[in-house]
Chains A and B, each alone.
Chain A
């Protein structure tokens, strides 16, 4: 028996991009002033696509996800527009948002040990999604939970249902998180650094699992990471973020082989490669990420950019399209690798 035979609602619904984010700005009120974590981010996600968002810590990539899911803390607020299947998410009342969260949009987090409730069993945390959202009866819910654990390749799924998160290994916990996210067959799966807390070998398994889930269910994925290798393996398109803004976006291959923004180029250069020559230092990017409470008036990357010009410091370069599906926010016309 497979989980739920009927066609997920989205296949018959609204046409066009699944998620449209337009000029998203997210600010936090802190005792030291207002911090702008996200400074005008716009992008679209289509059905079945996998988007990667890449950046350093403090680039705002995780806050973009939190804003979309409505998971900001008390002192955070967003402006702009986030439309999911035609419905505006920002400002939506909590009970309406809860009908979408967990069912049509699901999120998995970075550290599965702290993201799962240590006081409830795996089974309880899985079945409650079904009993709450779909009013499934408990026995049926248990069965479906067991099945979905099987689908994420957890051995002895029935036994695992009665276990607590601390009794599982890190990789298994993340599989449980993915299973929990996929339970209701969401249209969009949002993953916030899903592999960062895991061993390198397990990372590959998790990424394969995500790819497999997508192939089977056609879910769109937004994947946030600081690791370019992860992006290369899984994503169709990638967005590079810096200082709360998108500085470059486009298809994965294009970005990797022909980066057009100095920051993207510097990032790629700082990645160690197997075929690197072992002599010499690993290139790094000089300077420090911007202070989000006091953003400079011009391009956020200007203080660290090797190609900087006066024009860069005066105003924020807008994100402009340089080729179909390709955009960058830089005053340079062309960056030669």
Chain B
């Protein structure tokens, strides 16, 4: 049948498909909440990185004549000072550094552990997989918070330990997801085809399985980072997280609660930063998930 002008105009013809990533990017860019979140996150990250240049004060500079004072642009106390006379603005920004750093690093740690564990379990299958997943089940049913706190009680409170503790409890979800995906992919036709062509197991994992996992992994990371930040803030709030002179939003909020009645800004600024960061991360994560798997509404 020859191509008529109508056919060329695409009228009456069936719709053609586009690639997964192009579709996903288009959907993500259209999602205003996710884009807004991305912009906000970039701004906060920039502020955190540039913190030393944005304020004349250091994080433990005490100004005796400006204790618990409200925001004062003249003196450079953009967010006011806390009950020790320290500038809240620069402390909030340094808090951002800690929170974001812990968030990203711990997520990466849990990602690496989770992916390796899950991929191995999924690929090997059988009894090994059973045992590995049973371990995950047992660990999953234990209350994380308490174990992280236990670790800090028993082994002291250094920043490295916090990374390890948080990363060590978050990998379970990723392991489950990765194992599921690996098992599903293992049996798909193109894997069998690759086998038929003589490709080795590691090549198969590298070239076929990993690219297919990229989607869920991306979504997981963007949704895990806020959880990690939350955990760290929670610990710091209780006094079990970062120690002086370092500060994080959790510590600032905890201090803010104590002075809430007389100096509400000490609570409101760090709380707002924390809330806004968490929101932005969640919007971005939701947007990514919707973009990659629109059925999941």
Q: What is the interface of chain A, defined by CB distance below 8 A to chain B?
A: 32, 286, 288-291, 293-297, 300, 302-303, 313
Contacts and interface: CB of A to CB of B under 8 A. Distances in A.
B100 to A, nearest CB: 35
B6 A313 contact: yes
Interface in B200-244: none
A303 B14 contact: no
Contacts of A303: 1, 7, 12
Judged by DSSP, the binding face of A is loop
A302 B14 CA distance: 14
B11 interface: yes
A149 to B, nearest CB: 38
B15 A291 contact: yes
B14 A296 contact: no
A74 to B, nearest CB: 14
Contact of B11 (A32, A286, A289, A296): A296
Contacts of B6: 296, 313
B153 interface: no
Contacts of B10: 294
Judged by DSSP, the binding face of B is loop
B74 interface: no
Contact of B12 (A32, A286, A296): A296
A303 B10 CA distance: 12
B14 A295 contact: no
Contacts of A293: 15
Counting chain B CB atoms within 10 Å of each CB, the highest count among A32, A294, A297 belongs to A294
11 contacts: A32-B15, A286-B1, A291-B13, A291-B15, A294-B11, A297-B11, A300-B12, A302-B12, A303-B7, A303-B12, A313-B4
Closest 4 CB pairs of A and B: A296-B12, A288-B14, A291-B14, A294-B11
Interface in B1-56: 1, 4, 6-7, 10-15
Nearest to B13: A291
A295 B10 CA distance: 10
Nearest to A288: B14
A32 B11 CA distance: 15
Contacts of A297: 11
A295 B6 CA distance: 11
A291 B42 CA distance: 43
A90 to B, nearest CB: 29
A297 B4 CA distance: 14
A291 B16 CA distance: 11
A293 B14 CA distance: 9
B10 to A, nearest CB: 7
B85 to A, nearest CB: 56
A300 B12 CA distance: 8
A291 B14 CA distance: 5
Counting chain A CB atoms within 10 Å of each CB, the highest count among B10, B12, B14 belongs to B12
Contacts of A300: 12
Contacts of B11: 294, 296-297
A71 to B, nearest CB: 22
A302 B7 CA distance: 12
A291 B6 CA distance: 13
A324 to B, nearest CB: 34
Nearest to B7: A303
Contacts of A313: 4, 6
B209 to A, nearest CB: 32
Contacts of A289: 14
A286 B7 CA distance: 15
Given A296-B6, A313-B6, 13 more contacts: A32-B15, A286-B1, A288-B14, A289-B14, A291-B13, A294-B10, A294-B13, A296-B12, A300-B12, A302-B12, A303-B7, A303-B12, A313-B4
